[in-house]
Chains A and B, each alone.
Chain A
Amino acid sequence: MALAPAQVLGRRRVRRDPGATGTAALVTGAVLLALLLAASFVSGALTGHDPALTDLTARFRPPSPQHWFGTDQLGRDVFARVLVAAGTDLPLALLGAAVPAVIGIVLGALAGYARGWIGTAVMRLADLIQAFPSYILLIVLVFLLGPGAGSFLVGAAVGAWVTYARLVRGVVLRLRELDYVRAAQAAGLGHTRVLLRHVLPNALPQAVVYAASDIVLALSYLAALSYLGLGIQAPGIEWGQMIADGQPFLRNQWWVSVMPGLAIILVGVAVRLIAGGLERRLQR
């Protein structure tokens, strides 16, 4: 007997895209980030103020139509500075999440698929790194390497790949026992091909969702470093640095610290939307 496929297919319910709402969240989050990033390039034109221009006659102006977010202790426009800082913070946060993710995914996939001594070595290294609290590890590394964006990325990568490696290794260990992976092996496909085409693509979604939520973590690392004076150095502008600078005046001139803080929260919301959207779209 032969099933007539067209009929059989035709009778099956065509499922609505389960990610319809996921897509909306994903798009909203991405648009928010893109707008913020775009605004950072044209902050001067947008706000009518030079973010670096000090004007000691206009110190600590509260938020007004003239200065939407007020001015800081050197009379600089906080709104312009918040926008410009996005151009530093967002790329660094994205890279700070992406670099460890890529390293962790590669090592985790190898550890899960090859097992043997490679797997053992990777996991022992992971244990070693996880023995240190992540903030301490980051601060020590940046302290040794000297402050700056490069050090931040190295520090974030050394500490954060471990989580991805564990996550991906766990998924790969499960996937490699599934019949379609066995079938690919049984059909004589090479290990590289099986790993890249059949195992990794199915392990990626969870890692990608995790990486999306890690953007906020990277941002908070960066802010913390700047707060300690180990992050972006002036004349570079960065939210954590702005928060730290405004901290002595928090009681009376709250806007100097709170406005960059709000920017971080906004990024957090956008990233949550993206992560949630991705999760819904990628889950099958």
Chain B
Amino acid sequence: MSAGTPLLQVDDIVVDYRPRRGRTGGPPAVDHVSLDIPRGRTLGLVGQSGCGKSSLARVIAGLAAPTGGTIRLGGAELPAPRGRTDATRIQMVFQDPGSALNPMHTVRRTLTELLLVHRRAAGRSAATDRAVELLELVGLGAAVLDARPRGLSGGQRQRVGIARALAVEPEVLIADEAVSALDVSVQAAVLNTLRDLGARLDLTMLFISHDLAVTRYVADEVAVMHRGRIVERGLPDDVLRNPRHEYTRSLVAATPRMDGPALSAPEEARPV
């Protein structure tokens, strides 16, 4: 990773949904997590559902206030709740193509609303021009401007979701399971787009997924989250080839290898 101050510094974040009194039982959803991402790099965050990765994402995106900890962007702490300008600096691409877009709004309206509210464009026609640029950036074009979400395929909707996140020119993009709901062949195209955008726009990305193979492909570095904590962090291939934490090992074992062995010996682990 490059030297210098990381663009995004997440320090000692705790998210605890349990009532304030008598915090008993398991650990908090996010348990003292610290992360940092240098400018222009992509950090992959891998873990199973319920490990706290989405809670962490929402805190970083400013959608929820943490129980404790700080988030710094470019060295300065982001307040919670964030003001209108700070809110645009970290944007998110969501998982479910079915609910990520307002079903009543056309693509044009979805994009131009943000551009106009945040004065990224002067007037409607300038906003539309910019919307088309954004759509072309994510591999779509003016042809989808007047479509509503139900007229788009899952892959197209995810692309519009990416365009929407980019509309306010964020410094950090969080992709929370952004390709998980897509079919393999469509997923590949969206992954290519995300990677391509990262390089072209020098985007700093937090790529969150349950899929180690997918994460490995997009990320410069991988962090593994388990029960609210980061249990391992390293270069993707190092983590895959030489997993140190027990949980990472089970994850690697379950990640497909096309040339790997089929199941022959019926070995079974203890169920969880």
Contacts and interface: CB of A to CB of B under 8 A. Distances in A.
Do A's and B's CB atoms come within 8 Å in the complex?
Answer: yes
Contacts of A8: 153, 156
Contact of B139 (A1, A15, A201): A1
Contacts of B215: none
Given A1-B192, A8-B156, A179-B95, A284 B141 contact: no
Main secondary structure of the interface of A (DSSP, over half): helix
Contacts of B102: 180, 184, 198, 202
Contacts of B62: 186
B104 A6 contact: no
B85 interface: yes
Contacts of B61: 186
B22 to A, nearest CB: 23
Given A5-B144, A188-B85, A284-B150, A183 B103 contact: no
Interface residues of A, number: 28
A57 B92 CA distance: 81
Contacts, number: 95
B164 A183 contact: yes
Nearest to B110: A180
B82 A183 contact: no
A187 B140 contact: no
Contact of B92 (A182, A188, A189, A201): A182
Interface string B49-89: 00000000010011100000000000000000011111110
Nearest to A7: B143
B139 A3 contact: yes
Contacts of B114: 187, 189
B151 A12 contact: yes
B208 interface: no
B91 A187 contact: yes
Given A1-B189, A8-B156, A179-B95, 18 more contacts: A1-B192, A2-B136, A2-B139, A3-B155, A3-B189, A5-B141, A5-B143, A5-B156, A6-B143, A180-B103, A182-B58, A183-B161, A186-B61, A187-B168, A188-B88, A188-B168, A198-B105, A284-B150
Interface of B: 58, 61-63, 82-88, 90-92, 94-96, 99-105, 113-114, 117-118, 135-136, 139-144, 147, 150-151, 153, 155-156, 161, 164-165, 167-168, 189, 192-193
